[in-house]
Amino acid sequence: MRYDWTKAEVQAIYETALPELVYRAQTVHREFHEPDRVQTCQLISIKTGGCPEDCAYCPQSAHYDAGVERQGLLDPEHVIGVAREAASRGVTRMCMGAAWREAPAGRDFEKVLEMVRGVSALGMEVCCTLGMLTESQAERLKEAGLTAYNHNLDTSPEFYGSIITTRVYDERLKTLAAVRKAGITVCCGGILGMGEKESDRVGLLWQLATLKPHPESVPINMLVRVEGTPLASIPPLDPLEMVRAIATARIVMPASRVRLAAGRKQLSPEAVTLCFLAGANSIFVGEKLLTTPNPGRDEDEELLQSLGMKPLESHAG
Ligand code: SF4
């Protein structure tokens, strides 16, 4: 396991001829993972819209009018019910997302803890994304049974300011450190297709690959261009860039789960297959990812079945 990758090394990997890159990634993948297994994760928005941050890709930002209906924090019973139903379909990880700048104090945080306790009691892995977190909040989430905390770096530090102006990269790194300190695993990745250059995609992968330890889960998202957000009319990303990024992530962070996250609906079944070949071994299932569309449940099942892939068992115990 290496944490001292140089940017030039990551770039050289990223630029390898595609067949060679995919072959290399698949070789690494087989050393660390079962090649026919894919983890299915369910994402639920527990608090939607009205976020004070200005992430240019996000329909939940209060800065843009993307037609997202705001919804306050859901009732823990409801969330636990959704998780129970997902578990009965073989889903092993429940990810709960809230559109907050930072995790709140008081009653709302207690409610989130109740959700974490309830979902964890079902034997599922539980992940939350609640914005910035203090060390003591991270500790309380850990006590409640939280498996992972999602906090994406989104892109390279150089491009970050073109996408978000309401916070800085270092604040992201600080929350990641608080999560680590509490003994919670890290889910951290980014979004491709936001108008960044190849060097920014490499810069993001390099940042992730030099975190010690590596994030256990690395979501690679393809921008979903939502009307009303500043990135609505950005040209679509070549799906092969997704393949390159996933393969590079697999090579530089061999033991991590690399998640083909948002934007899967924009990829053909062949492109998704190439992403699996490149080392992706986790997907989101369900018709919606927070507020953007995802392939339906049947489509997901059909694809995995046609590829002969099986769901990964939960490690939550
Ligand atoms: S990505 Fe998260 S932090 Fe950014 S605007 Fe959307 S909900 Fe808020």
Which atom from ligand 1 is nearest to the alpha carbon of 129? 2
Q: What is the pLDDT of residue 317?
A: 34
Residue tagged active-site, from 95, 128, 188, 275: 95
Which atom from ligand 1 is nearest to the alpha carbon of 98? 7
Q: What is the pLDDT of residue 89?
A: 82
* Amino acid present at 213: P
Sign of the alpha-carbon torsion through 272, 221, 199, 230: positive
Bridge partner residues of 257 (DSSP): 217
Q: What is the pLDDT of residue 263?
A: 84
Q: Which residues contact 271 (CB under 8 A, 6 or more apart)?
A: 239, 240, 242, 243
52-109 pLDDT, tens digit each: 999 999 999 999 999 998 999 999 999 999 999 989 888 888 999 999 999 999 999 9
- The answer to whether residue 249 scores a pLDDT higher than 70 is yes
Q: Is 58 a catalytic residue?
A: yes
Q: Which residues contact 48 (CB under 8 A, 6 or more apart)?
A: 60, 68, 69, 70, 71, 99, 290, 291
d(CA 53, CA 106): 21
207-241 pLDDT, tens digit each: 999 999 999 999 999 999 999 999 999 999 999 99
Q: Are 155 and 41 in contact (CB under 8 A)?
A: no
- Beta strand spans in 121-237 (E): 125-129, 148-150, 185-187, 190-192, 217-222
Q: What is the pLDDT of residue 157?
A: 95
- The answer to whether residue 49 scores a pLDDT higher than 60 is yes
More reliable by pLDDT, 313 or 158: 158
More reliable by pLDDT, 315 or 21: 21
Long-range contacts of 77-83, Cβ-Cβ distance < 8 Å, separation of 24 or more: 77/118, 79/44, 79/46, 79/115, 79/118, 79/119, 80/115, 80/118, 80/119, 80/122, 82/42, 82/44, 83/42, 83/44, 83/118, 83/119, 83/122, 83/124
d(CA 20, CA 88): 39
Q: What is the pLDDT of residue 32?
A: 97
Q: Which residues line ligand 1 at a C-beta cut-off of 6 Å?
A: 51, 53, 55, 58, 60-61, 99, 131
Residue tagged active-site, from 41, 58, 128, 275: 58
Q: Is 259 a catalytic residue?
A: yes
Which atom from ligand 1 is nearest to the alpha carbon of 131? 3
Residue nearest atom 4 of ligand 1, based on CA coordinates: 55
113-151 pLDDT, tens digit each: 999 999 999 999 999 999 999 999 999 999 999 999 999
Q: Which residues contact 58 (CB under 8 A, 6 or more apart)?
A: 51, 64, 229
Mean pLDDT of 37-61: 92
263-311 pLDDT, tens digit each: 888 899 899 999 999 999 998 776 566 666 667 667 777 888 899 998 7
Pairing type for strands 125-129 and 185-187 reads unpaired
Pairing type for strands 190-192 and 93-98 reads unpaired
Q: Which of 152, 146, 163, 129 is nearest to 208 (CA)?
A: 152
- The answer to whether residue 154 scores a pLDDT higher than 60 is yes
pLDDT confidence band for 316 (50 / 70 / 90): very low
Pairing type for strands 282-285 and 37-47 reads parallel
Residue nearest atom 5 of ligand 1, based on CA coordinates: 61
Query: Separation of 233 CA from ligand 1 center, angstroms?
Result: 19
Q: Is 51 a catalytic residue?
A: yes
Residue tagged active-site, from 24, 93, 127, 140: 127
Query: Separation of 51 CA from ligand 1 center, angstroms?
Result: 6
Q: What is the pLDDT of residue 314?
A: 53
Q: Is 188 a catalytic residue?
A: no
